[in-house]
Structure 1
């Protein structure tokens, strides 16, 4: 009997198996076998807080107020201290009480201004003009410069970027800080707005546990619990990303693998493989040449202009009857027997295999990403258009139809997981046949389960959308779609956990039993390796 035809069961499955009580093969969609609704609950507690700009400003104000109260300093001084110590309130307090004088010196909070002349007029150290004292200003150090030069100095610094938050006195020998009070008095309206923006962004960008959402145009930030196990974050803008590496959510693949995969997709190494597979080096100058015409007579376009035979890479001038004729050259066989062509051909074959393998995984990675985007579009259409129509035609509130949105959200998430399993598979060691076969088997089972859910949420739902009056079978459809959503969620969560553990369930260390207990045939999967597809009899359709 063929393994695919053997009856499958879950009797040997242990805890954490892929075919638990919610396994795909166990789906029997009777009219009253399941509850009408089943909420999908993530096992992980939310480990982050989404912050708006208003939230960030409020936190800033609280930190500034706290430093002002504890250290008895002005708001401007508190801002300078917090900016210097990257908005770490505890660090500011510890350093201040350990050595207040040194902190003031480092941050530029000087209390002893330099002695200046008591005359009504002073010379500006920048433009060297003489001005009334009333038209000049100085930081805490007492170095006076005219207000026009101060405005130009401040404006230039603010427009150059966030370095303006650590602005110092223009005197080359002075370390006095230029505080917010001085900027508020001398800067223009636009410069004040930019300075406030730099101050706001510094609160996030200098923090070790807060990051901006990387989605273009999004102004939310994420305050993350750095002791958390999972790095997955979903912003209010609906963009999901990994807090650790800022790439999109990529479970079950780790951040290092994601970085390698993205670099590989953009690297010139794949172009190099293409060159090795589809070109040959000029025998004289060694430049790669692609054959784009039918004739074997090649002429190098490089300055060498060398003419040679595409088949044997020999000089064209030496071709004739002795080499088998111009169009049936047997120079390849001659060269191979002489050992002249072996290494080059081996390199081309290795490059071809490498390119084919990469293309296999990359195409499926891209296809699942396209399917995920299409599912997101369908979800948006469902939320904005179809759900209201379905509510009217079936006589149910939109809240009662939430199970349809849950199903589409699960489809989007599963497409994302499937996408990254192909990057996982590419970096899976080629020599580990057992793990590779098990991985491909689980991947295929996941795709099968997802297709069942997608089919139900898309095509079977359409029947109810097209109906003019309420249909009796809608309650059964609700039960079926809710059940499929739950089953698919559980299966994919187990799949992700198995891949994150490195497929340890198939780590066969005993060579005497590995060939028996680690067979790649789905019908022979032992214990935790078993998982079953639903047969046609399980499908109510």
Structure 2
């Protein structure tokens, strides 16, 4: 996550792209970072005022507005145009065909220019195309009389449209065709000529001349989306209605050792690698495995293995529904002992003592069930704590409303200013943030192999958990007018400590991932 001190270099946001009505102050507030907000930190009397240095668990990134995305595309197109000597519209088509991979484009073009152009849907420069829009009466004699192959209209006053392939249709039909492709099919990058079996791409200039302004705006929006989707270093912010994209140069091969957490200008914090909400310190592959484990039926099967047994005769699955160990299979009517799985006929009247049970002789038969039970207990240990912190974070979200009222009350009953009571909101921010971090530490720990390093991780986890609970308890305390100063100091001190404990945990975990210190019980690559 980038700090405020990094925004001058990392953030590339243009205020012109902010929605109409936003003021400079609104925009400044949209750039706030929850754990580094300068405004909030004023309430901490300089507690967080030291210059921020990028930590091991933070990555470099920048926020790209729509204007910057367009400028980036124009820059790429201009470079290809200059090097290959192609018209800009053809350079744009080539770049989109190669998904903005210039190195691959140059390599293929230098090897076989005509073939590359043809496959990309570009007509060779040697072929002289007619103007995009032209009256039917102005067509060359060889193309007259003109009849639109779509609507079969042969009116000589028709305006016709075509791209470089010179497959002409009336402008109304061409417009309807492009509108359907853009509006209904959501296409933009590879809209081909309406002529059957013609793969020449309809360029942006042609679209601009044929469709209305609303469809043109949608077309350009789709072009921007494909630019981001095709670029490995760009990802759209997943927040609803957010138009910013994030640029981060962390390759996918590094996601086994880095959790690339980024923050958009809208305030949303997420993982650049997978697009999910911030899940530090767990890497993306572990998060994927954990979520899948929580959602699928694997734990149902685990429960069945731990709480049921198979009939020794017909192998039907049986669940014990009473205290008696005398079992009768409803399917084959076989009678056996639930404890030792032996025939009930051999138990006589000593069934309650079960003298046939022998740990050494029955261990092999019970090993599978024992392992399933242990596996289930281990999973539930981590899942219950994971779910508890998730639920606590949601409940802490409700604390914001209570905190705002408490801030107003504190301001009215003391000599503190509104800025000075912001420490309460900051404390809630950090509490929620730590809850989410703790949630993912349990997913991380579930797949972590037991080593000496594991003990250090669990100690850091315990210290953060204990400090977070203490801070949460402080925030729940009712206001007492005569103790406001003591409460403020206690919350400030505990907030600083909790923030520090989170940084220690994330820093050590990130270094362990980078150095390869952690061992996992599953393949994370």
Regarding TM over 0.5, the answer is: yes
Structure 1 distance, partners of 2:187, 2:45, is 59
Distance in 2, matches of 1:377 and 1:56, equals 37
Alignment gaps of 5+ in structure 1: 1-34, 508-541
Q: In 1, are the aligned partners of 2:108 and 2:116 still within 8 Å (CA)? A: yes
Shift of the alpha carbon at 1:280? 2.0
Which deviates more, 215-224 or 273-282? Answer: 215-224
1:83 is aligned to: 96
Which of 411, 421, 424 is the aligned partner of 1:401? 421
Aligned to 1:211, the other structure's residue is in SS state strand
| Cα distance in 2 for residues equivalent to 1:188 and 1:307 | 77
Q: Determine whether 1:307 maps to 2:333.
A: yes
1:491 aligns with 2:514: no
Is contact 2:460–2:501 with CA below 8 Å preserved after alignment? no
Residue among 279, 286, 306 paired with 1:257:
286
Quick check: which has more Rg, 1 or 2? 1
Of the three residues 217, 222, 240, the one matched with 2:269 is 240
Instruction: Report the CA distance between 1:260 and its aligned residue.
Output: 2.3
1:360 is displaced (CA, Å) by: 0.4
Q: How many residues end up aligned between the 2 structures?
A: 451
Residues 1:39 and 2:48 aligned together: yes
Question: Are 1:428 and 2:454 counterparts?
Answer: no
Match of 2:19 in 1: none
Mapping of residues 137-176 of structure 1, within 5 Å: 137-145=161-169, 147=171, 150-151=174-175, 153-159=177-183, 161-176=185-200
Task: Give the alignment of 1:119-518 within 5 angstroms.
Answer: 119-122=143-146, 129=152, 131-132=154-155, 134=158, 136-145=160-169, 147=171, 150-151=174-175, 153-159=177-183, 161-187=185-211, 191-226=215-250, 231-283=260-312, 285-292=314-321, 296=326, 298-300=328-330, 305-309=331-335, 311-312=337-338, 323-324=347-348, 328=351, 334=356, 342-379=363-400, 381-383=402-404, 385-430=405-450, 432=451, 434-459=452-477, 462-464=478-480, 467=481, 471=482, 473-502=483-512
After superposing the two structures, state which structure 1 stretch, 287-296 or 410-419, moved more: 287-296
How big is each residue's C-alpha offset from its partner over 1:315-346, in whole Å with a ceiling of 9 and x where there is no partner? 99x866x5436x9478x76486996x643421
Asked if 2 retains the 8 angstrom alpha-carbon contact of 1:183 and 1:192, the reply is yes
Tell me, in whole angstroms, the C-alpha distance in 1 between the residues paired with 2:444 and 2:504: 16
Decide whether the 8 Å contact of 2:336 with 2:344 is kept in 1: no
Q: Which residue of 2 aligns with 1:11?
A: none
CA distance 1:310–1:394, shift in 2 (3 Å) = farther
- Three-state SS of the structure 2 residue aligned to 1:131 is coil
Change (3 A) 1:395 1:86: farther
CA RMSD of aligned residues (A): 4.2
**Paired residues of 2:379 and 2:446 also in contact (CA < 8 A):** yes
Shift of 1:352: 0.3
2: CA distance between counterparts of 1:108 and 1:503? Answer: 45
What's the TM-score once normalised by structure 1's chain length? 0.69
Greater RCO, CA 8 A, separation 6+ = 1
How far apart are the structure 1 equivalents of 2:213 and 2:329? 68
